[in-house]
Amino acid sequence: MEQAKKRDRVYIGGLFHDPKPPHPEAGAAGAVSKDEAKGPCSRHHPSRRARAAAAVSAAAAGRAAGSFFWSALSADATRSEDGATAAVIAGSPLWPQGQPVRLRSLWKVLEAGLVAEKQDWQVWTAWYDDRLAGRVREEKRELAYLRIADELWKQGPAIVNAEIARRVETVAPPLVKRP
């Protein structure tokens, strides 16, 4: 029986998550890192909790999105078939019928976990919030997220995020709202 339970767990970016937990409301308790599986000593480290929350949020979001996802995808496909450019589609809200309540709740949990890390994750949470609302920034600002040297990525998220924050502050053009 224990082997079957282990087999059913999914490995997600350094975390194990049970896709069918007995009590889904347990939240991040369903996800543990490989280190945590060996012992409880690192279980309470903030980065472990944030990664666990991210894994649980991602798995639950996939289940919760359901018809909202297919509706949004269909709307994008229809707009594309009608001749809308990728830039126009990117400038529309991610969820045309409004973000599902469960997904919004999961996003807020993940966002709070990332911000608690104190590693400048706000550069990414703000970016994602812009995408949710259909806000598009000028190209220079978008490129601030993309043109990061491999050497910097190897130094970890705190260093990369601080560099992105610095770049965004230097370009910070006004918001562009596309039709």
Burial of 101 (0-12, 13-18, 19+ CB in 10 A): exposed
- Asked if 94 contacts 72 with a C-beta cutoff of 8 angstroms, the reply is yes
Can you give the pLDDT at residue 51?
73
**Mean pLDDT in runs of 10 for the chain (179 residues)?**
49 43 42 44 61 71 74 89 91 88 89 93 93 87 90 95 92 56
Can you give the pLDDT at residue 129?
93
DSSP annotation of 174 reads P
pTM over 0.75: no
Can you give the pLDDT at residue 46?
62
Can you give the pLDDT at residue 40?
44
